[in-house]
């Protein structure tokens, strides 16, 4: 990879970390509405899968994937306004954290019912296939969601029709407080791919190089018409399930062990080994991401709240201009 690309990837990792860190702080200050589900620690997964997607590809993030929004092209200011529940957010103030998608950038909003976005991703991929378009759908989900029936149905359908979709399981070892061994009876979620007739891969989700390599193969396979892949990224969320969860079900040793495998820390070591000027890169990136996040917060705070009558708008979807997207 070129130095420019290496630095760009570092910038994404750091921007996501800064953005989410600020949201956690704003939540503690009581400035946000609704729950906050930090993806701190899982940044390499969303960066690895989204950084090289085309604008006309679609992603289906899970509730912990603000990073995917940023890398796929969402405006940080609008994203922050969404989190504040303000009118300039994607849902125009009707929702806070969870359900706003950014349709103009190919980002489908998350659903409260976990796993329910996967059949939509398969449907989107089916559309691409029928129209003979070389576009790809990438659907993210947790290992907890992998136990849902519609996840199975989406994968089965995608396997039968060889659809251009990549299923990305972010296995952070706990679905709320439920550990892997109480969630499924196989060693890996990816083992199930065999039952659907496509390839399953397990990857170290904290190692950006590994994620990128596997993501590229899976995305190329989908784009070429060779069908779906299920990629399971083993990773870890540093925070609790949401900011109100102290996560007492994990040991301190376990958390510290995973913190020592931090994706940003690992990428910095790589940059250093490439003999780039890491001190300068770190400083320049810190200044840049802090500025972007500051501007986003100022924009969101200044954005108006919606007025009462607006509650009645946008309740039903207008037919989408499917030719445009
Ligand atoms: C169908 C369904 N069941 C339960 C919940 C409640 N719930 C919300 S998040 C969550 C944990 C999800 O774990 P996982 O899918 O592994 O994703 P993670 O939060 O670990 O990223 C649960 C049980 C829900 N939203 N939807």
Mutate to test the pocket of ligand 1, among 41, 144, 179 (most ligand atoms within 8 A of CB): 144
How high is the pLDDT of residue 63?
95
Residue list, ligand 1 pocket, CB within 6 Å: 62, 64, 112-114, 142-145, 148, 170, 172, 174-176, 241
Q: Which of 95, 91, 130, 85 is nearest to 107 (CA)?
A: 91
Tokens of residue 287, six digits: 């200044």
pLDDT in tens, the chain (325 residues): 899 999 999 999 999 999 999 999 999 999 998 889 999 999 999 999 999 999 999 999 999 999 999 999 999 999 999 999 999 999 999 887 788 899 999 999 999 999 999 999 999 999 999 999 999 999 999 999 999 999 999 999 999 999 999 999 999 999 999 999 999 999 999 999 999 999 999 999 999 999 999 999 999 999 999 999 999 999 999 999 999 999 999 999 999 999 999 999 999 999 999 999 999 999 999 999 999 999 999 999 999 999 999 988 888 877 766 555 5
User: How far apart, in whole angstroms, are the C-alpha atoms of residue 196 and residue 77?
Assistant: 40
Strand, coil or helix: 101: coil
User: How far apart, in whole angstroms, are the C-alpha atoms of residue 99 and residue 91?
Assistant: 8
Read off the pLDDT of residues 180-217 as tens digits, 9 standing for 90 and up.
999 999 999 999 999 999 999 999 999 999 999 999 99
Mutate to test the pocket of ligand 1, among 68, 169, 176, 236 (most ligand atoms within 8 A of CB): 176
Residue nearest (by alpha carbon) to ligand 1 atom 13: 175
Q: Buried (b) or exposed (e) across 206-234, using 16+ Cβ within 10 A?
A: bbbbbbbebbeebbebbbeeebbbbbbbb
How high is the pLDDT of residue 164?
98
Give the chain's radius of gyration (CA, Å): 19
User: How far apart, in whole angstroms, are the C-alpha atoms of residue 46 and residue 319?
Assistant: 30
How high is the pLDDT of residue 33?
82
How high is the pLDDT of residue 74?
98
Q: Which of 249, 311, 312, 292 is nearest to 17 (CA)?
A: 292
How high is the pLDDT of residue 323?
58
Torsion, CA 321, CA 68, CA 175, CA 153, rounded to 10: 40
């Amino acid at each position: 990879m070129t130095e420019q690309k290496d630095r760009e990837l570092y910038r994404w990792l750091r921007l996501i970390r800064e953005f989410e860190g600020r949201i956690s702080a704003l939540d503690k200050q009581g400035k946000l509405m609704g729950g906050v589900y930090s993806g701190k620690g899982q940044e390499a997964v969303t960066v690895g899968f989204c950084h090289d997607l085309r604008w006309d590809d679609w992603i289906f993030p899970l509730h912990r994937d603000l990073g995917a929004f940023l890398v796929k092209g969402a405006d940080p200011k609008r994203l922050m306004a969404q989190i504040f529940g303000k009118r300039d957010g994607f849902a125009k103030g009707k929702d806070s954290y969870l359900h706003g998608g950014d349709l103009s950038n190919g980002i489908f909003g998350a659903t409260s019912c976990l796993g329910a976005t996967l059949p939509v991703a398969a449907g989107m991929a089916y559309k691409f296939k029928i129209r003979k378009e070389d576009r790809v759908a990438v659907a993210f989900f947790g290992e907890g969601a992998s136990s849902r029936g519609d996840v199975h149905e989406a994968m089965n359908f995608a396997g039968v029709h060889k659809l251009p979709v990549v299923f990305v399981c972010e296995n952070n070892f706990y679905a709320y407080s439920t550990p892997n061994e109480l969630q499924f009876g196989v060693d890996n979620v990816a083992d199930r791919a065999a039952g659907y007739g496509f390839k399953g891969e397990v990857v170290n989700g904290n190692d950006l190089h590994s994620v990128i390599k596997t993501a590229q193969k899976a995305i190329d396979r989908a784009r070429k018409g060779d069908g779906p892949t299920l990629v399971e990224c083993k990773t870890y969320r540093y925070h609790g399930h949401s900011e109100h969860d102290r996560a007492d079900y994990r040991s301190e040793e376990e958390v510290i062990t995973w913190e020592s495998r931090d994706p940003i820390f690992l990428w910095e070591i790589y940059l250093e080994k490439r003999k780039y000027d890491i001190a300068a890169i770190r400083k320049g990136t810190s200044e840049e991401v802090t500025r972007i996040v500051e501007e986003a917060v100022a924009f969101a705070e200044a954005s108006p709240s919606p007025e009462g009558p607006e509650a009645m708008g946008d309740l039903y979807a207008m037919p989408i201009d499917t030719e445009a997207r």
